[in-house]
């Protein structure tokens, strides 16, 4: 078991043990028993941490802190002079990053509350606060979430190589995503192991069928008994308990070999599992042949499934659209869109420009792309239309979180512009491909921008993308993209 400690945790351990000159009973080395959990030793420049393996065993393990992106904010500065609406759009070069433009109204003015008369179809939150959904969040949205990635193989599908080799990048990206989109408010603490753990039964005995799934389409696949996900988790966690510390565990992910055939659907559920650390209410996930057969990113699917028990309904705007990790866990753009981010209260207030349509004056707002991996500039415009409706404007392009993952493609390099969606918190629907969900992408008329076919997603009508020099009028508001360079220059005004 290797525990990727957060930087804060590691610093705390070092401070706790500073000045401790006790003599270890055994010379510290990886795998050697050690006396007290959390003790630290340095051997030939390698930091070792005494790690609790189970109720009666502690072992020295390598410490591997993961560097966390800085969440230090740039100061709010005065925006550049407002260009006239008739300015010719040009591609800028060498521009400074987008400045923050002070929001005319507080964020909570535009974070309209849940206005559903009944919450029957969508059980999680579609509006701030995240506790406003029918089902309450089961994972914390701040602090530390403890996770175990457990590599499981079978006698009929033995694992090959060191599973840690392909899991380490997935772990690193999961941690970076959560740290970035939560602005440091949430951290993932993930443990795994460098060897496969053999299940007691052959692979077909761990089949799980996703609700609505037609079953395993692979030729030659064997079907076993359809078992409850909690029962599967309880058995596998018991098998792996000598390699993992389950104390305080929030999430478990079982990782099966990539050549598995008899398990098609990825498992995902929340339940209470009996373990050697007691009864644990945890998010339970497992890989399947579906994930591997299409070369889908594991980390983004894992985060999508974790965000549901964190409280997000997701699947809107436009179910399957490739621009939000909550509408498509395998889309081209694996961001958390600004409305979902605001539901979790993960944004900085100055990232969002809030104004009521009733008091809207013609304004030019410099915007940084939400796809970028930096925390400077305005990331979204929220325009309050009514007590339950908001227009959301986001700048989008081929940037860090939309460049793809390994061989999995991201947005085209030429992709840039504004996406506008309308949120209506009185609507109790989300799994709708086009119109009808609680959030819906808006479209321009009189243009022909064509379609975009992204990876693992349906065709997307690019008349919903405001390209440089174009404008959209919807719900009494006109949004224009005056120019797009290092950042986008956006004008918003009442429709004439």
pLDDT single digits (tens) 82-128: 333 333 333 333 455 566 788 999 999 999 999 999 999 999 999 99
pLDDT of residue 410: 96
Q: In whole angstroms, how far apart are CA 136 and each of 115, 211, 307, 313, 460? A: 17, 21, 12, 11, 33
**Is there a single domain that holds both residue 339 and residue 208?**
no
In a domain, 185, yes or no: yes
**Is there a single domain that holds both residue 241 and residue 347?**
no
In a domain, 318, yes or no: no
**Is there a single domain that holds both residue 41 and residue 168?**
no
Query: What distance, in Å, lies between the first and last C-alpha atoms of the chain?
Result: 64
**Is there a single domain that holds both residue 341 and residue 390?**
yes
Domain that holds residue 172: 143-307
In a domain, 127, yes or no: no
For strands 352-356 and 278-286, give the pairing. unpaired
**Is there a single domain that holds both residue 268 and residue 361?**
no
Q: What angle do CA 362, 367, 373 make, to 5 degrees?
A: 165
In a domain, 454, yes or no: yes
**Is there a single domain that holds both residue 388 and residue 267?**
no
In a domain, 68, yes or no: no
| pLDDT average, residue stretch 62-72 | 45
**Is there a single domain that holds both residue 214 and residue 348?**
no
Looking up tokens 């407002």, which residue turns up?
82
Which tens digit of pLDDT belongs to each residue from 175-208? 999 999 999 999 999 999 999 999 999 999 999 9
**Is there a single domain that holds both residue 111 and residue 152?**
no
| pLDDT average, residue stretch 327-347 | 97
pLDDT of residue 43: 65
Looking up tokens 């192991």, which residue turns up?
193
What is the total count of domains within the chain?
3
Is the pLDDT confidence value at 315 over 60?
A: yes
**Is there a single domain that holds both residue 111 and residue 202?**
no
In a domain, 86, yes or no: no
pLDDT of residue 57: 65
Among residues 301, 220, 200, the alpha carbon closest in space to that of 262 is found at 220
**Is there a single domain that holds both residue 356 and residue 221?**
no
In a domain, 234, yes or no: yes
| Of 307, 325, 345, the domain-final residue | 307
In a domain, 123, yes or no: no
pTM of the predicted protein model: 0.82
**Is there a single domain that holds both residue 402 and residue 484?**
yes
**Is there a single domain that holds both residue 270 and residue 348?**
no
């Amino acid at each position: 078991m290797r525990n990727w400690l957060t930087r804060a945790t590691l610093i705390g351990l070092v401070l706790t043990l500073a000045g401790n000159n006790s003599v270890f009973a055994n010379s510290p080395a990886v795998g050697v028993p050690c006396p007290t959990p959390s003790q630290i030793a340095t051997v030939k420049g390698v930091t070792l941490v005494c790690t609790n393996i189970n109720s009666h065993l502690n072992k020295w393990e390598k410490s591997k802190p993961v560097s966390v992106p800085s969440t230090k904010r740039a100061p709010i500065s005065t925006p550049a002079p407002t260009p006239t609406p008739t300015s010719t759009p040009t591609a800028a070069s060498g521009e400074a990053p987008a400045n923050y433009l002070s929001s005319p109204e507080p964020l909570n003015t535009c974070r309209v509350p849940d206005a559903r008369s009944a919450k029957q179809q969508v059980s999680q939150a579609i509006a701030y606060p995240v506790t406003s959904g029918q089902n309450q969040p089961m994972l914390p949205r701040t602090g530390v979430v403890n996770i175990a990635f457990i590599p499981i193989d079978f006698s009929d599908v033995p694992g090959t190589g060191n599973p840690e080799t392909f899991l380490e990048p997935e772990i690193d990206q999961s941690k970076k995503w959560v740290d970035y989109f939560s602005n440091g408010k949430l951290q993932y603490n993930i443990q795994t192991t460098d060897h496969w753990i053999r299940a007691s039964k052959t692979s077909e005995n761990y089949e799980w069928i996703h609700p609505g799934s037609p079953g395993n389409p692979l030729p030659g696949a064997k079907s076993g008994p359809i078992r409850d996900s909690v029962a599967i988790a309880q058995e596998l966690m018991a098998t792996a308990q000598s390699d993992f510390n389950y104390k305080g565990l929030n999430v478990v992910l079982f990782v099966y070999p990539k050549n598995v055939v008899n398990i098609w659907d990825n498992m995902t559920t929340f339940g209470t599992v009996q373990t050697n650390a007691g009864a644990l209410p945890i998010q339970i996930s497992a890989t399947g042949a579906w994930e591997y057969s299409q070369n889908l990113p594991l980390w983004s699917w894992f985060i999508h499934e974790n965000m549901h028990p964190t409280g997000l309904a997701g699947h809107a705007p436009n179910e399957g659209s490739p621009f939000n990790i909550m509408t498509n866990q395998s889309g081209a753009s694996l961001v958390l869109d600004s409305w979902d981010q605001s539901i979790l209260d993960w944004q900085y207030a100055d990232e969002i420009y809030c104004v009521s349509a009733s008091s809207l004056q013609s304004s030019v707002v410099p915007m940084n792309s939400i796809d970028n991996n930096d925390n400077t500039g305005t990331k979204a415009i929220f325009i309050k239309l009514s007590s339950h409706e908001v227009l959301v404007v986001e700048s989008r392009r081929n940037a860090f979180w939309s460049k793809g993952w390994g061989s999995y493609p991201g947005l085209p390099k030429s992709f840039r512009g504004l996406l506008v969606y309308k949120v209506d918190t009185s609507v109790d629907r989300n799994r709708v491909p086009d119109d009808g969900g609680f959030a819906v992408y808006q479209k321009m008329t009189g243009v022909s921008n064509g379609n975009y076919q992204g990876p693992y997603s349906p065709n997307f009508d690019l008349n919903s993308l405001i390209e440089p020099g174009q404008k959209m009028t919807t719900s009494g508001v006109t949004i224009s993209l005056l120019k797009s360079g290092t950042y986008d220059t956006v004008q918003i005004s009442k429709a004439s």
